[in-house]
Structure 1
Amino acid sequence: MKPLLALTLAALAVPAQAQLRLPQLPGVSRLPGVVDRVVDRVVQPLPELLSSATQLVDLRATTVRDLLQRHSDVVEADPRGELMRRRELVLLSPSAAALAAAAALGLVKLREEAWPELELREVVLSVPASLGTAEALDKLRAAQPDLQADFNHLYSRSGELAPGAAVAPAKPRGPVRVGLIDGGVDRRHTALRHAAGGSFGCAGSVVASEHGTAIASLLVGRDRGFAGASPKAELFAADVYCDKPDGGSAEEVVRALAWMARERVAVINLSLVGPPNRLLEQGVAALVKRGHLLVAAVGNDGPAAPPLFPASYAGVVGVTGVNPSRRVLPEAAQGPQVLLTAPGADVAVARSGGGYGIARGTSFAAPLVAGLLAAELREPDPAAAAAVLERLAAAAIDLGAPGRDPVYGRGLVAEDLRVVPEQLQARQAR
């Protein structure tokens, strides 16, 4: 596989000229900046849009090259072609000997942070100009073979721009709450202004994004003619991008996970994708062990692409998307990480700044699943989380091969949660 196949888009740093320009559905505003690693929304048949896998690769390659050229001061690619923060290494709970070895190589500590909720401590090091970032990591691992260290990888939003399947009641207690780790949310939108909850990231500033607002609307949105999966839920939204070219790092995602743990948000949606990373893996494992349900989009790099993360980590609920005809999106990832399927095409979503757009991608399937699970799991609890997830999976419509399969997982849920753009237009015109 060529290195470019593994390249990751950085969220909303995508240049306008690198995005596909598609015809607008009459009466519904377009959702600009809609990219799910490769393509995240369409309003024309996919065979006309994605004629070959080469087109997918070329689009991603062009976008990533542009990002690296424009922001080479803060972003670079690792040996596999995955994007990461320039000249940064992340050490997990390093010993004094490991820090001494790093200092001997000329690595300088930038910051240190502990997340007791995740039983994690990180030390972020700056790599000197005399060493390449990958070279520094190799040397450090050679000096300290037991050291847990990695790059500070970047994770792109897996998509840009209603009651569901029956679930047996679990007598949940407490308010319905759902977590979102994504870009910023425009809570002034008419579909979101009712949503209580909390916000995290960007030093307290609000940096609303198209993607974060769209996903939030599918989780908790409520407006005339529009409803998300759990419209009465409290929304706890963490912005890990803050409109920065090096936003969405593994460090920022783990910091958001720690906040969710402190707030005891049981169900968390992550419509973002990237490479495996040791820091992120341990952060995810800590929350899964505590009984949180992490729902993640499997990504849109195509069925033959390597698995993307965090959806492919153990215990994460990986979600793929289908079109209104129940056919899997051709760009959707496939493999054992796929657990559930939900609508992921021709989906109406709220736009930052007002109005609605049309979305496509696995990014938009994930929040429909997360919303259903949040209504049933009010507190983190390992046994309850497993039971709630099994009930939803058992109610799924089996598609593809009988039983669980790598294309549809356990099957389709939330089919009646998709807000049809034409119907939304008609209802709002009344």
Structure 2
Amino acid sequence: MLKRFSCLAVLLLFLPGAALAQLGLPGVPLPTGGIDRVIDRAMGTVEPVVFSARELTQLRAGRIEKLVRANPKLLELTADGYPARRGEILMFEPGEPALSGLRILGFRVLEREAIEGLDLPVTRLQLPPGVRMREVSALMDRAAPGVRWTPDHVYEQAGRAPSAADLKAEAAPISARVGVIDGAPGESQRVAASKGFARGAPAPSNHGSAVVSLLRRAGVRSIAVADVYGTDPAGGSATAVARALGWLVADGVKVITMSLVGADNLLLSRAVAAARGKGVVIVAPVGNDGPASPYAYPASYPGVIAVTGVDGRDRALIEAGRALDLDYAAPAADMTGFDARGRRIRLRGTSFAAPLAAARIAAAIGGDWRAAADNEAIDLGKKGADSVYGRGLLCGKCR
């Protein structure tokens, strides 16, 4: 029974906030206070359980399946098992001959736009009636061979904010503005700018509030937040994240932390590359699905600073995922932040390592931030850079 309840707790820990409210918990009565209370009560049994890579992989698959089942009109699974917006694909400069061929097959152009700040053209198409995402490749090869396209994948927040605790004093001030792509913070976490990129956004979220509070804890004073989740069950799409990136770039932000994970997506990869081409440093976590999980994106894109998490004893989190090229570690457990209602809460997840690493990079932005980060990083594990801790621990005193 202990292990079953622990699995439930970890599953809840990793679910995106918008999805949690819809799933319900068959067989588990919700006490007053709802999901957060269930997580609080479960946390005491989570850390003693050591999950195998196979168990974490199974948890990931079950979590994604439940998310899609809870939102069948908005989401569906792609051929590679990731959630995406139902009935829509994204194309890049398809040309009129390709569009004509697709129209004959029943595709319909929904929107054409150039994403602000990135000069990135995107065409959004609706699939023919009855066509599933897994059937699109064959149709595209037939009607528009060679044209690049992608599902509009949906990205998960890489951590949860589960329980109450104390918060330490803030660090020395950092003047550089840091951008956040996540949910919006509550009123207790004031930011310099905020904009929504999903239905109902900006909407206060525990996850976004925790990320912002950690940036403040690490000394960041100017924060711009792009809410890509809002109240939309299909929030966190590649389109929303790309638009958020463009808005932050246009705002002049030079360091962006995005605590979300998901599939390799052509629109997102192009948006990240365009932002990096404008001198922006992007920081992202490796996720919480364990070392056997697929590579996490956007953390695995070239040039993105991939961050893993450690606990209070500087041990790598057992649930930490992986990236193609791991850069740094940062605290991700045995520490505190604020939720959307301004309550002090205990945190766990690689989501919370990313903003701390971003803060240290922001402290040196405008100069050789890489050299500064490398000089600050505390070597853990094997000597030198490795696949568990990257180039070392940043912001170790930021707990």
2:334 to 342, 346, 350: 346
1:273 to 251, 254, 261: 261
Q: Please state how far the C-alpha of 1:176 moved relative to its aligned partner.
A: 2.2
Q: Please state how far the C-alpha of 1:133 moved relative to its aligned partner.
A: 2.2
Q: TM-score, normalised by structure 2?
A: 0.85
Aligned residues, how many? 372
* 1:289 partnered with 2:277: yes
CA distance in 1 between partners of 2:52 and 2:35 (Å):
24
Q: Please state how far the C-alpha of 1:116 moved relative to its aligned partner.
A: 5.3
1:32 to 24, 29, 36: 36
CA distance in 1 between partners of 2:35 and 2:264 (Å):
30
Q: Please state how far the C-alpha of 1:215 moved relative to its aligned partner.
A: 0.6
CA distance in 2 between partners of 1:179 and 1:307 (Å):
24
The alpha-carbon distance between structure 1 residues 346 and 258, as it changes in their structure 2 partners (threshold 3 A), is same
CA distance in 2 between partners of 1:19 and 1:345 (Å):
29
The alpha-carbon distance between structure 1 residues 202 and 65, as it changes in their structure 2 partners (threshold 3 A), is closer
Alignment of 1:45-56 (within 5 A): 46=47, 48-56=48-56
Q: Please state how far the C-alpha of 1:9 moved relative to its aligned partner.
A: 5.5
Check conservation: 1:12, 1:33, Cα contact below 8 A. Answer: no
* 1:337 partnered with 2:325: yes
Other structure's SS at 1:49 match: coil
Q: Please state how far the C-alpha of 1:17 moved relative to its aligned partner.
A: 2.4
1:229 to 206, 218, 227: 218
Equivalent residue, structure 1, for 2:109: 109
Other structure's SS at 1:87 match: strand
CA distance in 2 between partners of 1:11 and 1:312 (Å):
24
Q: Please state how far the C-alpha of 1:50 moved relative to its aligned partner.
A: 3.8
Check conservation: 2:327, 2:390, Cα contact below 8 A. Answer: yes
Check conservation: 1:322, 1:329, Cα contact below 8 A. Answer: yes
Q: TM-score, normalised by structure 1?
A: 0.79
Check conservation: 2:179, 2:256, Cα contact below 8 A. Answer: yes
Q: Deviations over 1:263-307 (max 9, x none)?
A: 010000010000100000000011112110100011111112221
Structure 1, unmatched stretches of 5+, are 1-7, 22-28, 36-40, 167-171, 221-227, 379-383, 419-430
RMSD of aligned residue pairs (Cα, Å)? 2.9
Q: Please state how far the C-alpha of 1:31 moved relative to its aligned partner.
A: 9.1
Other structure's SS at 1:337 match: coil
Equivalent residue, structure 2, for 1:77: 77
Q: Deviations over 1:77-131 (max 9, x none)?
A: 0011100000111001221222222212210111121125323111111112242
CA distance in 2 between partners of 1:34 and 1:97 (Å):
55
CA distance in 2 between partners of 1:403 and 1:142 (Å):
50
Equivalent residue, structure 2, for 1:118: 118
The alpha-carbon distance between structure 1 residues 124 and 34, as it changes in their structure 2 partners (threshold 3 A), is farther
2:25 to 14, 17, 22: 17
Check conservation: 1:298, 1:337, Cα contact below 8 A. Answer: no
CA distance in 2 between partners of 1:112 and 1:262 (Å):
20
Q: Please state how far the C-alpha of 1:356 moved relative to its aligned partner.
A: 1.3
Check conservation: 1:339, 1:409, Cα contact below 8 A. Answer: yes
Q: Which has the higher contact order (CA 8 A, sep 6+)?
A: 1
Check conservation: 1:112, 1:122, Cα contact below 8 A. Answer: yes
Letter of the 1:253 counterpart: V
Other structure's SS at 2:229 match: coil
Equivalent residue, structure 1, for 2:90: 90
User: Could you tell me the percent identity over the aligned residues?
Assistant: 36
Other structure's SS at 1:321 match: strand
CA distance in 1 between partners of 2:158 and 2:234 (Å):
16
Equivalent residue, structure 1, for 2:388: 407
CA distance in 1 between partners of 2:134 and 2:108 (Å):
16
* 1:212 partnered with 2:208: yes
Q: Please state how far the C-alpha of 1:185 moved relative to its aligned partner.
A: 1.3
Equivalent residue, structure 2, for 1:394: 375
Other structure's SS at 1:111 match: strand
Structure 2, unmatched stretches of 5+, are 1-13, 162-168
